[in-house]
Amino acid sequence: MISDPRNTPSLVPSVPESSRQVDSRFASALRRRKRKLAEQGPLVLRSSGNADPDLLRRFFDLEASGWKSRRGTAIGNDPRDRQFYEEVARSVARFGHLQLYFLEHYGKTIAGHIGFTYRRRHFTPKGAHDEEYNRYGPGHLLIDAALRDCAEQGLAEFDFLCEDDPWKLSWTSQVRPHAHLYIFRKNSQGRSAYMAKFKLKPALRALLGKRDQPNRALQDCFG
């Protein structure tokens, strides 16, 4: 079953502190959506620490069913990305740190995420949901259930990773600094990529920022 969000850990704080992190209106809306969805059929949380090819394929297919695929950012859009995540999942699973979560409604997967657990912390680099269930907030429902499961395992933190997106801040107001690391090949292509990223792009942004109506096409090329 899915947990009550008021009793779950959040982005950074420990489990005892987490009950103060979730806004009461958000918690109320989440309970209401959960109740309406549960009235139509059972909600079940599935989890696995194995890098089973069928489970990974299940996640990739779910992610490719929505907006990420349309934008070309889904893992399944690029065989190299898919191979990368498959290899990472297998490597992490060998050391017992992989944690896959899926939320099912009436046997249908409506949300899932690839997670890693290390030193009593759970990290979520990739998540996906079925857009047909958007009105119920399936991604939040999965987090709600996963947080409860993590708490029952004795974990102290749940880290969403990356930027402080608005949907993440529904769960907590606490964040950690986020940094980017870029590695360029030591050849002409690497130098060109470096110049485009750290020289041309900032100059272009500065130029466009001085105009009343920025050229959106140029921004898109270098954004």
Secondary structure (H, E, C), 76-141: HHCHHHHHHHHHHHHHHHHCCCEEEEEEEECCEEEEEEEEEEECCEEEEEEEEECHHHHHHCHHHH
Which amino acid is located at 137 in the chain?
G
Write the pLDDT tens digit of every residue in 207-222.
Answer: 776 554 444 433 333 3
Q: What is the pLDDT of residue 141?
A: 94
Q: Which two tokens stand for residue 142?
A: 């999965």
Residue 115 CA to residue 125 CA, distance in Å, equals 7
Neighbours of 82 (CB within 10 A): 17
- Per the CB < 8 A criterion, the answer to whether 62 and 68 are in contact is no
pLDDT at 63 over 50: yes
Tokens 């806004």, located at residue: 23
| 44-48, 53-57, 157-161: least confidently modelled range | 157-161
pLDDT at 9 over 60: no
pLDDT at 70 over 90: no
Percent helix, strand and coil across the chain, each to the nearest 5: 50, 15, 35
pTM (global) more than 0.95: no
Q: What is the pLDDT of residue 21?
A: 61
pLDDT at 142 over 50: yes
Q: Tell me how long the chain is.
A: 223
Which amino acid is located at 16 in the chain?
P
Domains of the chain: 5-170 (3.40.630.30), 188-222 (no CATH)
Percent of the chain scored above 90 by pLDDT?
A: 49
Tokens 């993590």, located at residue: 150
Neighbours of 218 (CB within 10 A): 13
